[in-house]
Amino acid sequence: MSQKTRTGHDPKVLVYQSQHPEKFATVLAELGVPNVTTARSTDDVEPDLSDVEIMFGWNIPVEWLRKAPRLRWVQWSGAGVDSVVLKRDQLPPDLQLTRIVHQFSAPMAEYVFTYLLYVVKDVRRQQKAQEQKRWDPFRAPLLAGKHIGVAGLGSIGSEVVRKARAFDMHVSGLSATGRNHHLVDVHYGADEWLKFVEPLDVLVLTLPLTEQTRHVVNARVFDAMKNHAIIVNVGRGALIREADLIPRLAAGRIQAAILDVFEREPLPVDSPLWTLHNVYVSPHMSGPSEVRRTSEFFAENYQRYVRHEPLLGLVDVTRQY
Amino acid sequence: MSQKTRTGHDPKVLVYQSQHPEKFATVLAELGVPNVTTARSTDDVEPDLSDVEIMFGWNIPVEWLRKAPRLRWVQWSGAGVDSVVLKRDQLPPDLQLTRIVHQFSAPMAEYVFTYLLYVVKDVRRQQKAQEQKRWDPFRAPLLAGKHIGVAGLGSIGSEVVRKARAFDMHVSGLSATGRNHHLVDVHYGADEWLKFVEPLDVLVLTLPLTEQTRHVVNARVFDAMKNHAIIVNVGRGALIREADLIPRLAAGRIQAAILDVFEREPLPVDSPLWTLHNVYVSPHMSGPSEVRRTSEFFAENYQRYVRHEPLLGLVDVTRQY
């Protein structure tokens, strides 16, 4: 915890967002957070950083963190902090970095089951039949009894597991720490990917992107999977080596990929992922951040900060999440 | 219970199905059910009914039931028995009628959430964006926090409720008997439709079709619902008065209708339900009956029958389900 707050005045807060930072400022004022200034990521002008003690935002340039001599705490307004922790050698020492936790679990788990059911139930086939006014019943597979594996058992992965239970799926999990291992039928460690994926019908990625997880889902992992498994990625694009995934989707070795995140975002127009018939692309929207809810998270943490209490969502920069 | 079985020989069983009755016969032989004959609904020839004691099938003509003097038990191979109980004055006295229970809960509840999520999350919009290679995030509504009302709290409705809980929805229920009222936050009786539907975001129908429930969802009920609610019908088509539903869908008063069952099936090609943009039509396939599983249900009941034990899924013909 910082020892340096409360120098007699309110710490200066910089809100940094790509769009409408003033909306955050308005909500923060309502929530009793004083001394707030704003910057927009699309502006070229660098704000005065000399007396900023707290930053609240998304994809804040790492060089700004270094240029703010009084900076003590950065609240990221998202769940994944890879863009900053992967440059952790450039961060000032003693900086507290926090991320949003718990807020994205519900929308992201809903996203997973929306598209998983869409694929498994072949809604596309039925919608085509309706377009053609064809009364043509077919037997759709069940989620019940299928085996889902959730890589990453934080708040998002845990919520995916919870919903999978309501669909009577078999549930495996993989995580580096073993946290929440009690939620799954079988738990695997970070060195057990091949054993983990072997029996799965559905693999869901909710992992953070770290040096250890970059391209962790690669040719070796795909080749250990059974035929016609489905992959869902709501974590980070670079968890998957797309160059290994694409030919296996084209060949039908992987039944389908449901991808909300990509190695490059926005997904380049020449990526084959856009057009493969068994790929379901969405534009990194499964866990939308809301001005009010993320501001509430920040305001709660702000009160903890000024009272010298432990912050919520504190990132272990060495662990990278 | 029948007092007249076990006359020294195995009771004669007639399997009546529209397709492949011999497949049922093969499975029943494996399951140890003797003395099985078959008939196909598409054949014009009426089988010898003189010594049939048990029938197992779907949409068996009611006149056959009257023409079989030794008939004691009919196992319907579906969950809904409206086509026979609505002609109950034509049934022989002392006939036991059973329906399949529990087997359809999982697929039907999966169907409900497949299409409900498809509509709420606007998957169609995202699929169109993908077709056009457009990276265009939008904020999709959540199921969490929405209010779902389930009319009919038998095995199917109960499973819908269970899954709704995993999506953190508010859950109301309506049923005539009050059975399973403890599963829902608020329970309504059969005379409380208007109060029941008033706060709902989503209305799901899993009711049996009886004289009391025919057209129970009509103009009065629609007009009591709030704007832009979603209706899902997996019960029977005639629960809804389609003539009242169609103009309200066309006007957007009802946000969407997810319909697996219709007043007339197959849905006539000139029905506006096929083409309304906010109607999701499927061909009565949410609860597919499987040869093996329904045969297992019958074989279990057959053993109960010959041992003079109470049958599973016994229909109260007066109650009509």
ipTM (interface predicted TM): 0.93
Average pLDDT, chain A: 94
- The stretch A261-282 carries a mean pLDDT of 98
Render A74-91 in DSSP notation, one character per residue. Answer: EEESSS--HHHHTTGGGS
- The stretch A97-122 carries a mean pLDDT of 97
**In this model, does residue A234 exceed pLDDT 60?**
yes
**Measured between CA atoms, how close is A190 to chain B, in angstroms?**
28
pLDDT by residue (tens digit) across B137-152?
999 999 999 999 999 9
Rounded CA-CA distance A96/A11 in Å is 15
Contacts of A123 in chain B (CB under 8 A): 114-115, 118, 123
Task: Name the amino acid, one letter, at A245.
Answer: L
Integer angstrom CA distances of residue A9 from A12, A15, A38, A220 = 9, 18, 19, 56
List the single residue in B with minimal CA-CA distance to A143.
Answer: B110
**In this model, does residue B63 exceed pLDDT 50?**
yes
What residue segments make up the domains of chain B, in order of their start? 12-103+289-306, 105-281
**In this model, does residue A6 exceed pLDDT 70?**
no
Q: Rounded to a whole number, what is the distance in angstroms from the first to the last CA of chain A?
A: 18
**Measured between CA atoms, how close is A13 to chain B, in angstroms?**
27
**In this model, does residue A3 exceed pLDDT 80?**
no
Phi, psi of A232 (to 5 degrees): -125, 125
| Residue numbers of B between 201 and 260 with CB closer than 8 Å to A | none
Residue of A192, A109, A205 whose CA lies nearest to A150: A205
In CATH, A105-281 is 3.40.50.720? yes
pLDDT by residue (tens digit) across B120-177?
999 999 999 999 999 999 999 999 999 999 999 999 999 999 999 999 999 999 999 9
Quickly state the pLDDT bin for B7 (edges 50, 70, 90).
Answer: low
Assigned CATH topology for domain B12-103+289-306: Rossmann fold (3.40.50)
The predicted pLDDT at position B3 comes to 40
